[in-house]
Amino acid sequence: MKVSLHTKEALRTNLWFVPACLVASAVALFVVTAMVDRSGLVHSKIAADAGRQILTAMGAAVITVVGLVFSIVIVALTLAATQFGPRMLRNFIRDRGTQFTLGAFVATFVYCVLSLATNVRLSVWVAFALVLVDSVLLIYFIHHIARSIQLPVVVADIAADLKHAIDAHAGHEKPPELPDGAPIVARTSGYLQFVEHDRLVRIAVEEDAVVRLLYRPGHFVTSGSAFAIVDPPTAAAAFERELDRAHITGPYRTLAQDLTFAIDQIVEIAIRALSPAVNDTFTAMTCVDWLGDGLSDITTRGLEPLIHRDRGGVVRVVDATIGYDRIVDRAFDKIRQAGVGMPAIAIRQLAMLARVMRVATTNEQRDVLQSQADMILRSSESSIPERNDRADVRRRYDAVLEAAALGAR
């Protein structure tokens, strides 16, 4: 059975699924050890009453530590919401280390409680082993949380998500010219989170049709607006019946299919760092570095609309276009605006533009990058009072011009 991306993301972004699986494993382990204890195959010098007292003590200790772990998680989530932005909470909730640690402690507690009702022999030693594992996990968890709330680590993790999204979207295949068809109307409002392309391809094969999506994950879809165009128009009715199953909308954006969401998250951290209340220039510069890295990858590999074909190679679904200019604007505009009058930010942005310019492959890409460099220069000359700082910005701008001239040869 194939699990959809929506189901995978829903199971990943919660704090109950992994703990529930570990609790179920603890129940299964209890059933096995209880059967062994009842069979008398295992002999132990620990009396039944003493074993139950040991299990009671271990269970009480474990549930106390569970409260501590939950408290640490709440503190980390609160810190993430205030320092990184509320949209970063899902990144922390989907962390497997946190989920596994919570689940391991709860599973150990459940095992100890269940074992109290049996003729304890093997169960005591298994509980001892589980507590030892939990002790190691507690040390790991403290280290993991201390590392995961560091801003450079947060930004690097989001940049890694951006890399995965680029891998899914990269390509240079031009979409075919599609004739005008009949529109398919969206019936719910919200952010487009997932598109089930396999389902759309299956319907298109059955109707011998081609569908062109007008929205991509991350866009806000309004009820009643045209969501896609279908050719021939006679196939529109079949797509309308399956539309609710073929796409998922919700109150928030997700990383699974939304490439620009990772960019927006890094930009949000940068503009928060540049706010007067925080004034953390170095964090903003770190964000610019990672944005430049992702943009270099996008520039080299290209981001033409994804084309989905059937088994015979016939084009059936064409995704909405992600414009290169829109991606560059999202990566630079808000940071440039928030960093007005800050030479360090202007210099770092121009340095990243020069780096991306060196790998640009088309004149259109160079024009977009050059436009950003021009805006940074104009903003710096009008807002930076110190002449030497303006000269530093000008030198970085000249480096962008030099890279553009080399690439155009």
Does pLDDT of 3 surpass 70? no
Contacts for 281 with CB less than 8 Å, ≥ 6 apart: 273, 274, 342, 344, 345
Binning the chain into helix, strand and coil, the percentages to the nearest 5 are: 70, 10, 25
At residue 82 the predicted structure's pLDDT band, cuts being 50, 70 and 90, is: confident
Element (H, E) at 27: helix 17-39
Report the Cα 169 to chain-centroid distance in Å.
15
Report CA-CA distances (Å) from 404 to 114, 120, 210: 70, 76, 40
At residue 1 the predicted structure's pLDDT band, cuts being 50, 70 and 90, is: very low
Q: What are phi and psi of 229, to 5 degrees?
A: -120, 130
Give the whole-number percent of the chain exceeding pLDDT 90.
Answer: 42
Residue 137: per-residue pLDDT: 93
Q: Which residue has the higher pLDDT, 324 or 78?
A: 324
What's the whole-model pTM score?
0.85
Residue 45: per-residue pLDDT: 67
Does pLDDT of 172 surpass 60? no
* Mean pLDDT over each residue of the chain, to the nearest integer: 87
Whether 110 contacts 130, CB under 8 Å: no
For residue range 323-367, list pLDDT tens digits in order.
899 999 999 999 999 999 999 999 999 999 999 999 998 999 999
Residue 248: per-residue pLDDT: 84
For residue range 8-21, list pLDDT tens digits in order.
777 788 888 999 99
Burial label for 227, CB within 10 Å (0-12, 13-18, 19+), is buried
* Cis amide leading into 276 (omega within 30): no
Give the whole-number percent of the chain exceeding pLDDT 70.
Answer: 93
For residue range 29-61, list pLDDT tens digits in order.
999 988 887 776 766 666 777 878 888 899 899
Residue 173: per-residue pLDDT: 62
Residue 4: per-residue pLDDT: 63
Residue 175: per-residue pLDDT: 66
Residue 81 is given by DSSP the state: I
Whether 389 contacts 345, CB under 8 Å: no
201-222 mean pLDDT = 89
275-301 mean pLDDT = 92
Contacts for 351 with CB less than 8 Å, ≥ 6 apart: 292, 396, 399
- Give dist(CA 270, CA 280) in Å, integer: 9
Q: Which residue has the higher pLDDT, 190 or 118?
A: 190
| Identity of the highest mean pLDDT range in 41-45, 95-99, 387-391 | 387-391
Does pLDDT of 293 surpass 60? yes
216-245 mean pLDDT = 86
Q: Determine the 3-state secondary structure of 100 from DSSP.
A: helix
